[in-house]
């Protein structure tokens, strides 16, 4: 009972992280309840693709939305559980340190750039990519950037949470079926955006309007860069059902 109360209290303090965890878990089970192929190993690839997994040849053929939907698709319950534990352990810390819109922006942009990096790396291969790992690694590295910029004493840095989350998320990269380029793209994006957001908070404070404007402009520029990157590699005239 005490554990439940503590969990509910923490969930109220970290609404975005909690919502992301609930959405990922809910989508995992709802998609499989609506489509039993998710429980059939021989039809698993078809299931993942039909429900939004990222396949570079499909994505660059015009199905750009796969770069987003794949962030909420997970191959197995173990894959889901490890990612959600990593998200919860580090997301609940970072969300309290930066503005909510910045936290969500870093999460989504890290995931999207991770997807783009994966698509570019596998453009000539038939690879199915899915999972929130790239977005979560973006949150981890954003927290790392925040800690490095704000804390001179390494003893005050949330080292344990960062290490545990890295092991849970990046450690999956040791498996042959996991997409490491999505991890690299997400981690790099999160660190860069996290550093920019942290410098803005230190310089202009929050909720300064100038901070909101600058961070929003940075996110808009990142989206433009993402769009240009996608268009550069888009396959013209080839579409899949």
How is residue 151 written in tokens? 């804390």
DSSP state of 206: S
Q: Write the secondary structure of 179-194 as one string of H (helix), E (strand) and C (coil).
A: CHHHHHHHHHHHHHHH
Say if residue 95 is exposed, middle or buried (CB neighbours under 10 Å; 0-12, 13-18, 19+): buried
Rounded Cα distance, 65 and 56, in Å:
11
Q: Give the active site residues.
A: 133, 183
Q: Give the list of residues 6+ apart from residue 29 with CB closer than 8 angstroms, or none.
A: none
- Beta-carbon contacts of residue 130 (< 8 Å; ≥ 6 apart): 48, 52, 53, 54, 70, 71, 73, 74, 75
Phi, psi dihedrals of residue 186, rounded to the nearest 5°: -65, -40
Three-state DSSP at 241 gives coil
SS3 call for 239: coil
Q: Where do the DSSP E strands lie in 112-200? A: none
């Amino acid at each position: 009972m005490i554990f439940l109360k503590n969990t509910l209290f923490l969930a109220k303090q970290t609404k975005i992280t909690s919502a992301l965890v609930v959405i990922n878990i809910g989508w995992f089970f709802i998609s499989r309840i609506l489509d039993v192929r998710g429980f059939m190993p021989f039809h698993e690839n078809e299931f993942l693709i039909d429900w939004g997994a990222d396949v570079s040849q499909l994505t660059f053929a015009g199905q750009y939305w796969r770069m987003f939907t794949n962030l909420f698709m997970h191959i197995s319950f173990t894959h889901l559980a490890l990612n959600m534990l990593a998200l919860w352990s580090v997301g609940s810390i970072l969300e309290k340190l930066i503005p909510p819109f910045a936290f969500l922006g870093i999460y989504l942009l890290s995931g999207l750039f991770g997807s783009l990096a994966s698509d570019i790396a596998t453009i000539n291969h038939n690879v199915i990519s899915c999972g929130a790992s790239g977005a979560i690694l973006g949150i981890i590295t954003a927290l790392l950037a925040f800690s490095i910029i704000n804390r001179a004493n390494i003893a005050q840095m949330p080292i344990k949470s960062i290490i545990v989350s890295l092991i849970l998320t990046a450690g999956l990269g040791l498996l042959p079926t996991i997409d490491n380029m999505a991890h690299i793209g997400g981690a790099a994006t999160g660190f860069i955006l996290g550093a920019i957001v942290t410098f803005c908070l230190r310089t202009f404070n929050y909720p300064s309007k100038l901070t909101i404007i600058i961070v929003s402009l940075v996110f808009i520029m990142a989206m433009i860069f993402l769009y240009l990157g996608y268009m550069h590699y888009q396959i013209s005239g080839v579409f899949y059902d």
